Amino acid sequence: MTQRIIATLWSKLPQEFYYTGEPTPWVQMTRPGQNLHSFLEGPCFDNHGNMWLVDVPYGRIFKISPDGEWTLHKNYVGEPHSIKQKSDGNFILTDHKNGLLEYDGEDEFKILASDYKGENFKGLSDLTIAPNGDIWFTDSGRTSLSDPTGNVFRYKTDGSLHHVLNNVPYPNGIALSPDGSLVYLSATRANAVWRFLADYPDPVWPMVGTYIQLSGGLGPDGLAAQDNGNLAVAQAQAGRAYVYSIIGDLIATVYLPEGVWSTDVIYQQNKLYIIEAQTGSIYTAEIIGTL
C-alpha cells in the first residue's frame, strides 16, 4: 500500500539570513518580478552529521548542525546549485555561473571545468559523486521541450571530462544506484525521470529510457537514492516528494505542510529530508520499507 505522509518541519532559514538587496540577474531571469529571500538547493551531509546546502542566487553556502542551527559558512561570487562532499573532505559544487568547482571547505575554490571542448556550459544544475569518485553533473541552462539540448557530463578521477548526453529537456537532479551501476536523471521539462547504465556499452550515447513518468507541478528536481535502492524525487512547484521502489512502483507520497518549491531531497538512513525553497524550510519524513 502506498504511504501518504505529511512531512515534519526540521529547521528553517533564520530571518537574519534573509536577503534584502536588489534582485540578482539569476532572480530576474528565473523568477521575474519576485524578491527572493533565498533559494535553497543541493544538500549533503558531512561525517559529523552537519547538513551543507547552497543558496543559488546569492552565492551562499550554509551549514546546519544536527540540532538545526544555521551558520553562513561562505559567501562568494557565484550561483551554486549543489554541493557534495568527496571522500577526502573537500567539496564539489555545480555553479550556474562558474562551472564545476572544488572547494576546500575554507577559502579556496578551484575550477575543475567551465567548458567542454571550448564551448561554455549552458549553466550547471546538480551533481552526484560515484563510489569510485567520478563526478556526474547536469548542464541545463534554459533548455526545455522546445530546446532539448541539455547536457550530462562525467568528470572522471583522472581529470578527463566525458559528454554523456546532449538531448535532455532541462537535465536537473542526478543520482546513482547504490552500486553505482545505474544513473537516474531528472528531465524536468519532460516531467520524467530517465535511467541508463553508468558504464554503457554503446559507442557514443547510452541507451536511455523513461524510468518514471510524472505529472503536475513543474517536474522532478532533486533525486536521492537510498541504500536499499529506493529513489526519492522532489517534485518542483508541487510541494511534495515521491519515493519509488527499484522497479519504479510508488512507495510513498510525502506532502509538505507549507510551500510548493520542493527543490531537493537527501536521505540519512530511513529519514528523508526535503528542501523547500519558497519558505526556506527543511522537512523530514520517515520512509519505512520497500515494495
Write the pLDDT tens digit of every residue in 196-243: 999 999 888 999 999 999 999 999 999 999 999 999 999 999 999 999
At residue 231's C-alpha, the angle toward residues 291 and 253, to 5°, is 70
Domains, the chain, ordered by start: 3-286 (2.120.10.30)
Residue 1's pLDDT band, with cuts at 50, 70 and 90, is confident
Query: For 69-128, what is each residue's pLDDT tens digit?
Result: 999 999 999 999 999 999 999 999 999 999 999 999 999 999 999 999 999 999 999 999
DSSP 8-state secondary structure symbol assigned to residue 22: P
For 99, the enclosing helix (H) or strand (E) is strand 99-103
pLDDT tens column, 13-23: 999 999 999 99
Average pLDDT, the chain: 97
**What is the edge-to-edge ordering of all strands in the sheet holding 60-64?**
40-45, 51-55, 60-64, 70-75
Nearest one of 3, 68, 49 to 287, comparing CA atoms: 3
Tally the C-alpha atoms within 13 A of residue 177's C-alpha that lie toward its C-beta.
18
User: Which residues does 264 contact at the CB level (< 8 Å), separation at least 6?
Assistant: 40, 41, 42, 43, 53, 82, 173, 221, 222, 224, 234, 274, 275
pLDDT in tens, 142-198: 999 999 999 999 999 999 999 999 999 999 999 999 999 999 999 999 999 999 999
264 closest CA partner among 37, 55, 25, 89: 55
